[in-house]
Amino acid sequence: MAAVANHRWTISAEVMEYAIPPIRDMLILGRNSPVGCIALRRALELLIKSPYEHIEIPDDLVLSDILVRSALLRRVPKEELIRFVLKDIRPMMGSEEVLHVTLEIKVQVQTRAHEDTQTG
């Protein structure tokens, strides 16, 4: 197909490096998402060194699976994360979607100073 003489074309592109890992913190898969959890887990294993934990959500009409960076589950209990997803994320999600979620988890730690009873 030849270009038309009186037309001018401009092509612009934004080019950036492909991000590894392709997910940072968490991926939520809808029950009818176009890609399955097994395929995503295999792809993550090939691309990423840091481990992700698979959380299956049984008997839910919208959600099927959560893939979350294992390190985050050292800061927040799995049950709390599931509760957060079901309460706050699921209402804005369709069963055909796959959502990429970036989490900010802040943990407050308090400790009581212990008096040193040993003398040295």
Tokens 């994360």 -> residue: 81
pLDDT in tens, 65-92: 999 989 999 999 999 999 999 999 999 9
pLDDT in tens, 21-51: 567 788 889 999 887 777 777 777 766 667 8
pLDDT at residue 34, as a whole number:
81
Residue 27 to residues 20, 67, 80, 85, 117, Cα–Cα distance (Å): 14, 5, 16, 11, 49
For residue 6, is pLDDT > 90? no
**Per-residue DSSP letter, 80:** H
Tokens 């481990």 -> residue: 51
Stated as kind and residue range, the H or E segment containing 40 is helix 37-47
Stated as kind and residue range, the H or E segment containing 82 is helix 78-84
**Per-residue DSSP letter, 21:** S
Cα–Cα distance, 22 to 10 (Å, whole number):
30
Cα–Cα distance, 69 to 48 (Å, whole number):
11
Question: pTM for the whole thing?
Answer: 0.70
Residue 93 to residues 3, 19, 25, 97, Cα–Cα distance (Å): 44, 24, 18, 7
